[in-house]
Amino acid sequence: MLVIIVILIFFLLLNKKKREWVFPLGLGIIFSYIITYILKFVIARPRPLEISMNFLYHLPDYSFPSAHAAVAFAALSILNKTYPKLKLLWILSASFVAFSRIYIGVHYLSDVVAGSLIGYLTGLFIIKLKERKWKLTGLR
């Protein structure tokens, strides 16, 4: 997942007009990740697998909500704003990430749906913050 995020940031950095979206993309990803991990420890729902995914670190590993889905859908909302012509690609990519979490058996459907909503809404919130900043500074 980290490799994909680096590639997306590099993709935005290549276009001078889109560079201003690197920071909002990073914020969306970071905030959605933080929100999901706070909720994971508050709700503490066990994963569908009997074996913890973090067995090497001996940390509790919870299922709800899916951080992968949240990050993918946070990126989706911001990338859709920056490259609307590639909307189908963004939707398919985020959906594939979400579906893969269920397919490999590390999340329930409700984990993925909640993570997707958290991520998408976080991305929309970051976009609104960025647009509000433009209105206040007169850069629009």
**pLDDT mean across residues, the chain:** 82
**Structure-model confidence comparison of residues 68 and 4, the more confident one:** 68
Please state the domain extents for the chain.
2-137
* pTM score, whole prediction: 0.80
Instruction: Give the C-alpha separation, 84 to 94, whole Å.
Output: 15
| Alpha helices by DSSP H, the chain | 2-14, 22-43, 67-82, 87-103, 109-137
Of the pLDDT bands very low, low, confident and very high (cuts 50, 70, 90), residue 58 is: very low
Model pLDDT, residue 48 = 82
Q: State the pLDDT at residue 134.
A: 56
**Is the CB of residue 24 less than 8 Å from the CB of residue 130?**
yes
